[in-house]
Amino acid sequence: MAAFLINSVRLPEWLAWTITALVAAALILNVIAGGALAFIWAERKIAARIQDRLGPTRTGGRFGWLQSLADGIKLLAKEDLMPDGADGMLFRIAPYVSFCASFCAFIALPFAFDFVGQRLNVGVFFVIAVLGLEVFGVILAGYASASKWSLFGAMREAAQVVSYEVPLGMCVVVPVMLAGSMDLVTIAEKQAGWLTNWYLFHDPFTFVIFWVYVTCAVASVNRAPFDLAEAESELVAGFHTEYSGLRWSFFFMAEYASMFLVSALAAILFMGGWNGPVPLAALAGFSEGNGDTAHYLVRVVGLANLLTKATLGVLFMMWIRWTLPRLRIDQVMTTCLKYCTPIAAAMFAGAMLWQLAFPGGLIPGMARPAGEIREGWLEGPGGQSAPVVVPSVDGTVAKAVR
Amino acid sequence: MGSESMISLSGPVLGPVLAIGLPVAAINWHSVLFLLFATLASIFAVGVVLTDNVVRMALYLVFSLAATAGLFFLAGAEFIGAMQLMIYVGGTLVLLVFGVMLTAQAPFVSIKPSAADRTLAGLAGSSLLVVLLAAALSVDSWQRPGLGEVTAPTATPLGMALLGMRVDGPAAGAATGAVANGYLLPFEIVSIHLLVVLVGAAYLARAKRRRTPRPIDAAASVVSAVSVVEGSERVELPAVVPPRSGSASALVAGGSK
């Protein structure tokens, strides 16, 4: 977009870059805020259905679809209270720390081939690193609230963080290893083609490790059965007991944004990203000669693909939230450290050996080997493709392909 | 192409017209962003020194380190920047947790170093500053890339080098015909070292298990059983408490049959 503004509209370079950055930031903010509104409504409806209720029915006519907006307005109008003994500065800043961490992680998240705020060569790593910062807000809120419930929540969160981060990191490493890149765009592009090219179905080990990832991802966004930091039946509301109004809603936006983020990350790492189960574009005969409009349309379809997958992931998280009971903190640590970590390690080794043993997939022709598939015409006209190192089968030669 | 045409337009023809706009265009925005991040890092670093509260110190440290990560991203070193976020900023999380745990009690709420500590820290800090300044001033010319011109080096050569393969191919190795070795050995040594440290830490921190249950544990299990049973509106104790069960839920399940 910046190139377009500079070359076609003849804007000065600094203005073009600023506008590009602002547009990207505004789009991401809309994804977060609009997503939170929709997901909170969905959560209430799903929770109600699972508990044999109706949920919101009146606001906005049928299905209560305006309920989230009404709640938002109510939250805006609410008084912003702060406890007497609270550490004022930390108390005020904590929700924004959480929110900013979620927001920053979105910057490197690609929504379609080149619909990405800033394509990073180390995208996965960046997203995981930034997502880990979200807990700062939780712990600060727990500390600064001067409330024992909040402090309990914060301490539980701290214990939880050190448990899930290890297996989460190991799960993410497997698709990185298969793709030979930490670039999220490259990882997703390597899974282009039929459903069987998804890393989820690459081999049995990746299938298992996907579910380990799901477990750790749920733990990382503080959702039941891992919502120890909140634990409304034990700790009132955990770390956000003392929050009200807009600050409280910032915590919730951060939570829903993180849910969406880890789901989108799962879609990109394991489920082909914006590549649908059926390579419609390739079957329809789209190729490089079809021009910019065709490229753009294909990307919009890809965007819809990714959003659908991520939304399904979020709905899955809601489903298990209202189905499973909350774990105790020691059970959380046992799950993450005693089970998930060894499983992830074993699956990592297994996936590695599988790649060595069956570099072309188990059934020849069913799945094309990872690394060979490039829908070359998807390389944008800007030539933004990063150099991709294709590790060959025997691991001796690595060549850089521009 | 775009910038060229801008220059040719704004130079002789539209120079006077764009005179007001020119200072904005002439600013090196890369430097502006650099100054922004650097100022943030410095301000929060000073904040770490000046504040007494441990938790606030940790928070300022987080902000300072995150701004430094921003500097790395600005320089196009994405891997280092993400590393900075993961290791330093993430590592400060542990510091923050310890701060929170310590400051839950009053005597540690604020840290006031003694005069000797201040002097020592000041000496160490200023000598480091002198070294860094000398190094910075000894560089002949600093490169100043413009916006969008940064061709970010990828992390791939780094990763391959750690695996023992130099894909970037140093010129010296190519000239002598020697195979360029990567950094596999140092990498493995560091990995093993870290693994040993991890195992040692786990050994030191593990819960010491006793072979036989202490009497107090059996008593505790009875107490918890009583409380749970009371919760379910059964006041009488089960006649026999299994000595090793210790699980209140088993008792409740047995009682409700």
> In which element (H, E) is residue A2 found?
helix A2-7
- Give the CA count within 13 Å in the CB-facing half-sphere of A182: 24
Q: Is any Cβ of chain A less than 8 angstroms from the Cβ of B103?
A: yes
Q: Both B161 and B200 in a single domain?
A: yes
What percent of chain A is helix, strand and coil (3-state, nearest 5)?
A: 65, 5, 35
In this predicted model, what pLDDT tens digit does every residue of A268-310 receive, in sequence order?
888 887 877 776 666 666 665 566 677 777 778 888 888 888 8
Under an 8 Å CB criterion, which residues of A touch B?
2, 6-7, 10, 12-14, 17, 87, 89-90, 93, 120-122, 125-126, 128-130, 132-133, 135-136, 139-140, 142-144, 151, 154-155, 158, 161-162, 181-182, 386-387, 389, 398-400
B25 interaction partners in chain A (CB closer than 8 Å) = 12, 14
Give the C-alpha separation, B155 to B163, whole Å: 13
- Lowest mean pLDDT, pick from A187-191, A279-283, A317-321: A279-283
Whether A122 and B78 have beta carbons less than 8 Å apart is answered as yes
Is B148 a domain residue? no
Residue A209 CA from chain centroid, whole number: 17
Beta partners for residue A112, in sequence order: A115
Whether B108 and B53 have beta carbons less than 8 Å apart is answered as no
Range of the domain at B56: 13-111
Supply the pLDDT for residue B238. Answer: 44
pLDDT averaged over chain B? 68
Report which of residues A96 and B149 the model is more confident about: A96
pLDDT of residue A383 exceeding 70, the answer is no
Report which of residues A392 and A26 the model is more confident about: A26
Output the DSSP codes for B174-240: HHHT---B-SHHHHHHHHHHHHHHHHHHHHHHSPPPPSS--HHHHHHHHHHHHHHHHHTT--SPPS-
How many domains is chain B built from? 3
How much is the average pLDDT of A132-152?
83
Angle at A401 between CA A400 and CA B2, to 5 degrees: 115
Nearby residues of A114 by Cβ (< 8 Å), 6 or more positions away? A185, A299, A380, A382, A384
Q: Both B73 and B47 in a single domain?
A: yes
Supply the pLDDT for residue B126. Answer: 92
Q: What is the CATH number of the domain that holds B69?
A: 1.20.120.1200
The residue of chain B nearest to residue A135, with distances taken between CA atoms, is: B93
In this predicted model, what pLDDT tens digit does every residue of A203-242 receive, in sequence order?
888 888 999 999 888 888 888 788 877 777 777 777 777 7
pLDDT of residue B57 exceeding 70, the answer is yes
pLDDT of residue A343 exceeding 60, the answer is yes
Q: How close, in Å, is residue A69 to chain B by CA atoms?
A: 33
Upstream peptide bond of A225 is cis (omega within 30 degrees of 0): yes
Whether B14 and A12 have beta carbons less than 8 Å apart is answered as no
Partner-chain contact B148 A120, CB within 8 Å: no
Partner-chain contact A161 B93, CB within 8 Å: yes
Supply the pLDDT for residue B212. Answer: 62
Range B158-164 contact pairs with CB under 8 angstroms and sequence separation of 24 or more? B158/B79, B160/A389, B160/A398, B162/B187, B163/B187
Q: How many CB atoms lie within 10 A of CB A2?
A: 20
- pLDDT-derived band at B128 (thresholds 50, 70, 90) equals very high
Give the C-alpha separation, A128 to A252, whole Å: 20
Give the C-alpha separation, B103 to B204, whole Å: 25
DSSP-derived letter for residue A196 is G
- Lowest mean pLDDT, pick from A49-53, A338-342, B206-210: B206-210
Is B72 a domain residue? yes
Of B66, B90, B97, the CB nearest to A158: B97
List the single best residue of B86, B94, B184 to mutate versus A (max A Cβ within 10 A). Answer: B86
Supply the pLDDT for residue B239. Answer: 45
A110-112/A398-401 β-pairing: unpaired
Question: CA nearest B225: which of B216, B238, B215?
Answer: B238
B24 interaction partners in chain A (CB closer than 8 Å) = 14
Instruction: Indicate the residue type of B16.
Output: P
Q: Both B50 and B101 in a single domain?
A: yes
Q: Is any Cβ of chain A less than 8 angstroms from the Cβ of B89?
A: yes
Give the C-alpha separation, A89 to B47, whole Å: 13
Report which of residues B59 and B107 the model is more confident about: B59
Whether A388 and A368 have beta carbons less than 8 Å apart is answered as no
Question: CA nearest B34: which of B150, B139, B131?
Answer: B150
Report which of residues A233 and A125 the model is more confident about: A125
Supply the pLDDT for residue B18. Answer: 42
pLDDT of residue B124 exceeding 90, the answer is yes
Q: Is any Cβ of chain A less than 8 angstroms from the Cβ of B22?
A: no
**Which tokens in the block code for residue A298?**
């294909």
Q: Is any Cβ of chain A less than 8 angstroms from the Cβ of B33?
A: no
B53 interaction partners in chain A (CB closer than 8 Å) = 87
Q: How close, in Å, is residue A286 to chain B by CA atoms?
A: 30
A10 interaction partners in chain B (CB closer than 8 Å) = 2, 5-6
Which phi and psi (to 5°) does residue B181 adopt?
-85, 150
Is B31 a domain residue? yes
Partner-chain contact A126 B29, CB within 8 Å: no
**Which tokens in the block code for residue A61?**
């006519």
DSSP-derived letter for residue B244 is T
Report which of residues B212 and A80 the model is more confident about: A80
Sign of CA dihedral A93, A95, A96, A97: positive
Supply the pLDDT for residue B102. Answer: 65
Report which of residues A156 and B20 the model is more confident about: A156
> In which element (H, E) is residue A391 found?
strand A388-391
Give the C-alpha separation, B148 to A201, whole Å: 38
Whether A72 and A78 have beta carbons less than 8 Å apart is answered as no
Residues 38-67 of B with CB under 8 A from A: 53, 55-56, 59, 62, 66
How much is the average pLDDT of A114-139?
83
How much is the average pLDDT of A87-105?
85
Q: Both B236 and B162 in a single domain?
A: no
How much is the average pLDDT of B207-230?
57
Q: Both B102 and B161 in a single domain?
A: no
In this predicted model, what pLDDT tens digit does every residue of A77-95 receive, in sequence order?
888 777 877 777 888 888 8
**Which tokens in the block code for residue A353?**
């050996």
Q: How close, in Å, is residue B97 to chain A by CA atoms?
A: 7
Supply the pLDDT for residue B193. Answer: 93
- pTM, two decimal places: 0.74
Supply the pLDDT for residue B143. Answer: 62
Partner-chain contact B147 A13, CB within 8 Å: yes
Report which of residues B52 and A349 the model is more confident about: A349
B21 interaction partners in chain A (CB closer than 8 Å) = 12
SS3 A194: coil
Beta partners for residue A115, in sequence order: A112
Supply the pLDDT for residue A380. Answer: 35
Q: Both B105 and B185 in a single domain?
A: no
What percent of chain B is helix, strand and coil (3-state, nearest 5)?
A: 70, 0, 30
Supply the pLDDT for residue A321. Answer: 86
Give the C-alpha separation, A207 to A169, whole Å: 16
B146 interaction partners in chain A (CB closer than 8 Å) = 13
Supply the pLDDT for residue A397. Answer: 33
Partner-chain contact A133 B90, CB within 8 Å: yes
Q: Tell me what ipTM this predicted complex has.
A: 0.76
Residues 158-187 of B with CB under 8 A from A: 160, 165, 167
- pLDDT-derived band at B13 (thresholds 50, 70, 90) equals very low
Q: Both B95 and B17 in a single domain?
A: yes
Whether A146 and A85 have beta carbons less than 8 Å apart is answered as yes
- Lowest mean pLDDT, pick from A92-96, B31-35, B139-143, B215-219: B215-219
- Lowest mean pLDDT, pick from A33-47, A246-260, A354-368: A354-368
Q: Is any Cβ of chain A less than 8 angstroms from the Cβ of B18?
A: no
Partner-chain contact A182 B155, CB within 8 Å: yes
pLDDT of residue B111 exceeding 50, the answer is yes
Q: How close, in Å, is residue A61 to chain B by CA atoms?
A: 43
Partner-chain contact A12 B25, CB within 8 Å: yes
- pLDDT-derived band at B130 (thresholds 50, 70, 90) equals very high
SS3 B181: strand
* Three-state SS sequence of B74-126: HCCCHHHHHHHHHHHHHHHHHHHHHHHHHHCCHHHCECCCCHHHHHHHHHHHH
Angle at A62 between CA A60 and CA A65, to 5 degrees: 50
Q: Both B40 and B99 in a single domain?
A: yes
Supply the pLDDT for residue B43. Answer: 92
Partner-chain contact A89 B147, CB within 8 Å: no
- pLDDT-derived band at B17 (thresholds 50, 70, 90) equals very low
Sign of CA dihedral A210, A266, A256, A124: positive
SS3 A390: strand
Report which of residues A379 and A251 the model is more confident about: A251
pLDDT of residue B151 exceeding 60, the answer is no
